[in-house]
Amino acid sequence: MYRTSPHHTQFSSDRPQGKHRSRTLLLGALALASVSFMGGVFFAGTARARPGDQSPYAIVEQMARVLTLVENEYVDPVERDRLLTGAIKGMVAELDPHSAYLPPEENAIFQSETEGKFAGVGVEVELRDEQVLVVAPIEGGPAERAGVRSGDRILAIEGESIRGLSLDRLVKKMRGEPGTKVRLSLLGPADTHPREVTLTREIIRVASVVGRRLVGDIAYLRIKQFQSTTSTEFLRTLAHLRSLSSRPLTGVLLDLRSNPGGLVDQATAIADEFLDHGVIYATRHRGKVVEEVSASRGGSLITLPVVVLVNEFSASASELVAGALQDHQRATIVGAPTFGKGSVQTILDLGGGNGMKLTTQRYTTPRGRILQATGITPDLLVEAPLGPPGTRIFREKDLENHLPPQDHETSSHPPRAPTSSLPSSPPDSGMSRDVPEDPTQSKDRALQVGYQALLAKIKK
């Protein structure tokens, strides 16, 4: 079991300690108390049957009967492991959109994403009008070296059409063991015929922080997600921006748009750079406050004016940071209302490469605001441009089985959103990928408003 300090969730290593280990994302913070595993069965403390309670073994017996009938009577032979994995996945997925059982392959992918590295071809893609477009090849990766360009359409992988594939399944097809090869069929905007490229997969490292020094000596810092190296990258990028001129920085434009969250200790470390005291967030479990996490003294950005950019795809740990800075009146929040994921997930190691992402707590901002299914309302509202007719933005409150804002509330169950439970930014979100030194020249409306709001704060 991992303990937490007053400031950070502590992970001593990525190796198991004792019989099991947990990682926490915000996704979340903290591990459940009194948790143990026996023979692959999860126990939280000791379950005691009360008079009138149905025996927990009755449902297990029912599952065994169903398993036997399916194995014996189904039209074709079936694999028992597949059935049991499906049963476990269904049990955990029934809880809420963010809890999940992770078999070895999915668990490995999930862990690699939080570490900011994976084995693949090094290309960022997005789904647009049922077509898979290359947003950009990752610098120095196999795709860039092979001439894959922004705007290329991916038509097929290993000769098989990708039409109808979800983005998640497409990514899985392109990932694989380092040193293995994958063949892509591409069609560029100026191409008359598809071209094929064969790429050798390798370990790709993805930067989570990018920065630019803007006109007026303003530091623009964008955090794409909170992975294991984010706080280190943030300080390194900040130092680089400071080194570009002998003049001191005058303000910070922190861009958390389309940031889906990540590791809570990294989000806490970022918030701590802007705060010199006070609570950053608190967590609640079954109606009780479990912990309050406070800022330490001496952050590197405690004196500079700050504006934070958010949008409807800012979720979880990015909402934690924005909420803390808003409550302490350290930053003006600019953009669209956020996604509204205010729940905490703990990553539990089940052994054998299996894992479980389990919702364990809700979190609140320093002033006690619960962001679950509500999100953050910006101080300056700048809605993203509307997409094609019929386009709808899905937030946490639109997801089936979403956790209600308060304990013991009954959640409504609207139709499941036809998207992943974690938000991803669509191509028409209005967010610029290239930030000019003078953002007033950008077509990115939120960037313009945020920059101008920061200039006004600096002049006060």
Q: Same domain, yes or no, for 215 and 179?
A: no
pLDDT of residue 294 exceeding 90: yes
Number of Cα atoms under 13 Å in the Cβ half of residue 247? 10
Q: What does the alpha-carbon distance between residue 184 and residue 152 come to, in Å, rounded to a whole number?
A: 11
- Report if residue 178 sits inside a domain: yes
pLDDT for 408 equals: 57
224 catalytic? Reply is no
316 catalytic? Reply is yes
pLDDT of residue 119 exceeding 60: yes
pLDDT for 29 equals: 31
For the ranges 120-134, 230-244, 421-435, which has the lowest average pLDDT? 421-435
Q: Same domain, yes or no, for 380 and 241?
A: yes
Catalytic-labelled residue, pool 112, 228, 316, 429 = 316
The predicted model gives 257-284 an average pLDDT of 95
Q: What does the alpha-carbon distance between residue 397 and residue 386 come to, in Å, rounded to a whole number?
A: 20
Q: What does the alpha-carbon distance between residue 299 and residue 328 come to, in Å, rounded to a whole number?
A: 14
User: Which one, of 197, 266, 257, lies nearest residue 232 by Cα?
Assistant: 266
Q: What does the alpha-carbon distance between residue 276 and residue 122 come to, in Å, rounded to a whole number?
A: 39
Q: Which residue has the tokens 């922080």?
A: 209
Domain interval for residue 386: 209-342+361-459
Q: Same domain, yes or no, for 233 and 311?
A: yes
Q: Name beta bridge partners: 203.
A: 119
The predicted model gives 31-58 an average pLDDT of 41
Q: What is the pLDDT of the chain when averaged over all its residues?
A: 83
**What residues contact 298, with CB distance under 8 A and at least 6 apart?**
276
- C-alpha distances (whole Å) from 41 to each of 5, 35, 88, 100 are 29, 11, 11, 15
Residues in the chain: 460
pLDDT for 41 equals: 25
Catalytic-labelled residue, pool 96, 152, 255, 327 = 327
Q: Tell me if 375 sits within 8 A of 337, measured CB to CB.
A: yes
Q: What does the alpha-carbon distance between residue 168 and residue 223 come to, in Å, rounded to a whole number?
A: 22
For residue 221, give the 3-state DSSP assignment: strand
pLDDT of residue 278 exceeding 80: yes
Q: Same domain, yes or no, for 242 and 329?
A: yes
Q: Tell me if 369 sits within 8 A of 327, measured CB to CB.
A: yes
Q: Please return the burial class of 380, using the count of CB atoms within 10 Å of its CB with bins 0-12, 13-18 and 19+.
A: middle
Q: What does the alpha-carbon distance between residue 321 and residue 267 come to, in Å, rounded to a whole number?
A: 6
Q: Same domain, yes or no, for 223 and 156?
A: no
Residue after which a domain boundary falls, among 205, 226, 244: 205
Residue after which a domain boundary falls, among 171, 205, 239: 205
Output the domain CATH number for residue 262. 3.90.226.10
Count CB neighbours of 353 within 10 A: 14
The predicted model gives 193-222 an average pLDDT of 95
pLDDT of residue 121 exceeding 50: yes
pLDDT band (50, 70, 90) for residue 132: confident
- The total domain count for the chain is 2
pLDDT digits (tens, 9 = 90+) for 239-262: 999 999 999 999 999 999 989 899
- C-alpha 271: how far from its chain's center? 17
Q: What is the pTM of this model?
A: 0.78
Q: Same domain, yes or no, for 217 and 247?
A: yes
Q: What does the alpha-carbon distance between residue 171 and residue 311 come to, in Å, rounded to a whole number?
A: 25
Q: Same domain, yes or no, for 124 and 150?
A: yes
Q: Tell me if 245 sits within 8 A of 278, measured CB to CB.
A: no
341 catalytic? Reply is yes
Q: Same domain, yes or no, for 191 and 334?
A: no
Q: Same domain, yes or no, for 181 and 213?
A: no
pLDDT of residue 436 exceeding 70: yes
Residue after which a domain boundary falls, among 166, 186, 205: 205
pLDDT digits (tens, 9 = 90+) for 4-34: 333 333 222 233 333 333 445 544 333 332 2
pLDDT for 54 equals: 64
The predicted model gives 430-443 an average pLDDT of 86
pLDDT band (50, 70, 90) for residue 270: very high
